Amino acid sequence: MTESDLDLLAATRAGDGHAFAVFYRRRRGLALAFLSRRCGSAELTADLLAETFAAALAAVLDAERELPRDPVAWLLTIAHNKLVDGIRRGAVEAGARERLKMQPLQLDDGDLAEIEETAAEADLLGDLAKLLTREQLQALRARVLEERDYGEIASAMRCSEAVVRKRVSRALRILRHEMEGST
């Protein structure tokens, strides 16, 4: 039986470093697709990807924090925040990687080509559109990718906050089921 993302994060917190490696391999493509669409640069994407997973690992290892209920949305939120912070500063922060004593990234032309190829193949919204209804995709995009609040989304979609919450919840459940079935 394949472990869920939450199981992998819990195992990581319990000291199983291999579990986080499995989580990384499982979700790297998704985070890469998300970041590459917004960066335009393979080098910047690689830096943000490394910082995203380093920050995720640091959060998982912090026993004072609760583990995320939805690891995929949580990971994409970290990626989004790292991207926004990088834009504000004009450079990608390396704080999480430094706290974990990770070595700086050393990328060669092959690495950059692989990042660009993976990003070109990843049509995140297209893939989501195949799985979700239009309303679910619209609500998920607004809430998870754009980080808008439920009230604002409800107003734009001309429905109640409860309906938006349900659409986001259903979309995440569908994605979770799909991702667990593909691993």
| Token pair belonging to 72 | 């995929």
Supply the pLDDT for residue 97: 43
For each of the domains in the chain, give its residue range(s) and CATH number, in order of start. Answer: 1-122 (no CATH), 123-183 (1.10.10.10)
Is residue 147 predicted with pLDDT exceeding 90? Answer: no
* CA–CA distance, 71 with 56 (Å, rounded to integer): 10
| pTM value surpassing 0.85 | no
Copy the structure tokens of residue 101.
């004593």
Specify the DSSP class assigned to residue 168.
Answer: H
Closest residue by Cα to residue 31 from 61, 10, 55, 8: 55
Q: Which residue has the higher pLDDT, 20 or 181?
A: 20
> How confident is residue 19, by pLDDT bands cut at 50, 70 and 90?
very high
